[in-house]
Chains A and B, each alone.
Chain A
Amino acid sequence: MSFRLTPVLTASWGSERSWTLAAYEATGGYQALRTALGMSPDAVLQLVKDSGLRGRGGAGFPTGAKWGFIPQGDGKPHYLVVNADESEPGTCKDIPLLMATPHTLIEGAIIAAYAIRAHYAFIYVRGEVLHVIRRLLRAVEEARGAGYIGRNILDSGFDLELTVHIGAGAYICGEETALLESLEGYRGQPRLRPPFPAISGLYGCPTVINNVETIASVPAIVSGGVEWYRSMGTEKSPGFKIYSLSGHVARPGQYEAPLGITLRELLDAAGGMREGHELKFWTPGGSSTPLFTAAHLDVPLDFEGPPAHGSMLGTTALQIFDETTCVVRAVKRWCEFYAHESCGKCTPCREGTFWYVQIFDRLERGLGTAEDIETLLDLSDNILGRAFCALGDGATSPVTSSIQYFRDEYIAHYEQGGCPFDPVASTVFAGAGVS
């Protein structure tokens, strides 16, 4: 089947003053909220279950099931927390969404809170995006002023408070339990699970944590219905998805398409690789998903496709590199990132990422040995599955996959006594006569 682009979340990104309440309402915004408030919370939950919506933050867990884990009639406050801490290297979909159409997220959050019977919702947004924060804070105030947030929303009897919590620079806070710690005013270190947040989350109460794109998809599902939503994507991975293409492609950017599209099709949309160059390696969903190569151009990018080939869909952050790129240098830098962002709570991640950096440093400088490659693999074995949270597991992905596909390149580094690549050749200004 030939694919087509299906802009839904991105459809209004280019519109005049798209971030304002007026522009959002002019395209039917907050109608889904009216529809949802006319249904019972359980009916909204069932609708989302039936839609097959799966979490967009990386794990792909069914959203309706997650909502369904919240105990009802338990007498405790329930909380909705939107994870807008978008920090996974390569991932750049939620931030433009919040810049262009923050009301899509706010409407989704109100509907989601209603479905799980939460009266307090938080949007945890990373701190390093000042203008996005301005727009988000403004949108929340506009929504409050219009009666979409507060007491007795649209005369439904439903009350909701919504607070924007602004992070302060910590990748780990994208991990849901670290995010909760941060939101409670602590260092952002992950919690042991179980208990899962659905039972014991924020302040020890039942809590749903969903990614921005997940929650922003909810209004469209409510207004379009299950059949419409499922007419896009695949049986197990229904719906539309924002694919973020970056790197050595002719037209990097955000491409919204049905789940199951392939890199070959996306590259076609993005004008192919930059002129005169060919694909070498890419991440299907951020640096924490094992690398793919040109052999994986036809893997369907849904929740099933990449795992069948040793990777993951992740955040559909496709970082694409051509043959000028040194894979050892690329992976070294990711290792430095994970070492910097490791929260230090567990030994495998804290020490393992530290040693990754030491070993990659000497490999890239041509001072490595054959034993170093084996040490990297051994180290990866001792991190994967033994770290406290997914950060450690993710750190091993680029290491082990790059050795799997490009072992010769590692060997070339120590055989030649240095990196065989010219870093200038891989820059966007290569050939432009810059120093």
Chain B
Amino acid sequence: MRVYQCHFCSAPVYPLHGIMFVRNDAKEFRFCRSKCHKSFKQRRNPRKLRWTKAFRKAAGKELVVDSTLTFAARRNVPVRYNRDLVATTLKAMSRIEEIRQKRERAFYKNRMRGNKDKDLAYDRKLIEQHPELLRMREVELRRKAERLAAKENAMEEEEEITSDDMMSEDEDMESESEAEQVKQKVLLKNKRKTRA
């Protein structure tokens, strides 16, 4: 039993999974799922599809050249079973995997370096270009703050009925907001009329 590689996307194909196509020159093609099989039948180029390992490697998104990757290989000379050798191999495998993951992480970090500054530069530019939107944002924020304050006031009202001085000020605010609400309702009605 072996874990094979998908011919299209290079994903591992476990026993009892996937499908195999044998061409009339006896070359075997194993696929991890129907998606890969279909793509193969449609003669798609795995190097041009972003979701395949082939693309990621070709585009420099994945660790390609590394000493940890040289350990696994199909050898043409068969190796006789040796208990000690297998024991060391099993230990080595886990160690190699650990190192590989570490290096991959380092690779990823190296690849992503500098993105932050770039993003910040973009953001700065965006803000510079759209002052009018920022004004809208301010209005929105102001509105939000007002609503929040109103809510808090209402809460306080329920709690502190005695404090009259504050009430008068609050009432002014409330009346304003109420008037606004009425306005909006009328607006909506008008809109409906025009639609109809």
User: Do the two chains belong together in a single complex?
Assistant: no
